[in-house]
């Protein structure tokens, strides 16, 4: 299981540049915005979703100022009706706790049965993500995050989300 320390080691071994900002634990985007994190507009919002039959799971990362219309997203993904996954599923599939959801959490999904969904607006941007726990935020290039996930063998879907 990849934890915060392991993630930093992975980023360092790949020579991936990042800035780290430690802060008190945050559980919502509103709490994160109260922290003194540079580029706070680049901190992504993450959702762990599943279809209504619990056959397909999705880790969704969008620009923090956006919202997700689950019906529109299910149409884009050609999925059954989407809903939020339970905390038990979050731990089972990603080894993450509520409030610590992060795109790199998918690296803990060894079965590769979670689909990564990214907002097209993240392309070419620096983004802020939790490093496996919600007591820090790291800022790095979106392309580096995407490449790590692709190299791990996960399916990535790019989607458009409304502001």
CATH superfamily of 4-159: YbaK/aminoacyl-tRNA synthetase-associated domain (3.90.960.10)
Residues 6 or more apart in contact with residue 148 via CB below 8 angstroms = 10, 14, 16, 104, 107
Tell me the C-alpha distance between 103 and 68, whole Å: 16
Residue-level pLDDT at 39: 67
Tell me which DSSP letter residue 43 carries: B
Q: What is the pLDDT along the chain (163 residues), one digit of tens a residue?
A: 999 999 999 999 999 999 999 998 888 877 887 777 776 667 899 999 999 999 999 999 998 888 899 999 999 999 999 999 999 999 999 999 998 999 999 999 999 999 999 999 999 999 999 999 999 999 999 999 999 999 999 999 999 987 6
Residue-level pLDDT at 32: 81
- Other C-beta atoms closer than 10 Å to the C-beta of 36 total 7
Residues 6 or more apart in contact with residue 102 via CB below 8 angstroms = 46, 96, 129, 130, 131, 132
Tell me the C-alpha distance between 87 and 30, whole Å: 20
Q: What is the pTM of this model?
A: 0.93
């Amino acid at each position: 299981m990849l934890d915060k320390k392991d993630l930093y080691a992975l980023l360092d071994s790949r020579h991936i540049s990042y800035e780290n900002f430690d802060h008190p634990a945050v559980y919502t985007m509103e709490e994160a915005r109260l922290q003194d994190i540079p580029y706070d507009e680049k901190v992504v919002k993450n959702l762990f979703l599943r279809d209504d039959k619990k056959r397909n799971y999705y880790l969704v990362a969008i620009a923090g100022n956006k919202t997700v219309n689950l019906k529109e997203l299910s149409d884009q993904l050609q999925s059954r009706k989407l809903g939020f996954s339970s905390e038990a599923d979050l731990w089972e599939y990603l080894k993450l706790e509520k409030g610590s959801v992060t795109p790199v959490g998918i690296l803990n999904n060894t079965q590769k049965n979670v689909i990564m969904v990214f907002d097209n607006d993240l392309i070419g941007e620096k983004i802020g993500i939790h490093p496996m726990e919600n007591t820090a935020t790291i800022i790095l290039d979106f392309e580096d995050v995407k490449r790590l996930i692709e190299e791990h063998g996960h399916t990535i879907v790019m989607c458009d989300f409304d502001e």
